[in-house]
Amino acid sequence: MSTTTSTARVIEIGSVTAGVAVPEESGFRFFSSQHPFDSLEGRRFRNLKQVIAAAHDQWRRTTPPPRSKSSRTTPKESSTDLLLALPGPFLLAV
């Protein structure tokens, strides 16, 4: 019987909880807490470093990269679009 007590470790990728790594005799077993990490469910790893690396890899594969706000341009509005966006009654010249 072991005199060292090990506890489960929560694995987080940024602010996302990937799952829990539970210690076993030969390493750790991973239990997923979110869908992107389900393919790792029940897998055994020799150490926590491997668990974390696998979770990071899985996150990169299943999550699209964030879209850059600076590269996004808004279409130029025409004067007709601006008039239609004005609230309330108004008269247009005919």
Asked whether residue 89 carries a pLDDT value surpassing 60, the answer given is: no
Asked whether residue 82 carries a pLDDT value surpassing 70, the answer given is: no
Per DSSP, 63 falls in state S
pTM of the predicted model over 0.75: no
Rounded-to-integer distance, Cα 33 and Cα 41, Å: 9
Measure CA 87 to chain center.
Answer: 40
pLDDT at 44: 97
pLDDT at 5: 59
pLDDT at 66: 75
Total residue length of the chain:
94
For residue 73, name the pLDDT band (cuts at 50, 70, 90): low
Rounded-to-integer distance, Cα 17 and Cα 8, Å: 14
For residue 32, name the pLDDT band (cuts at 50, 70, 90): very high
pLDDT at 38: 96
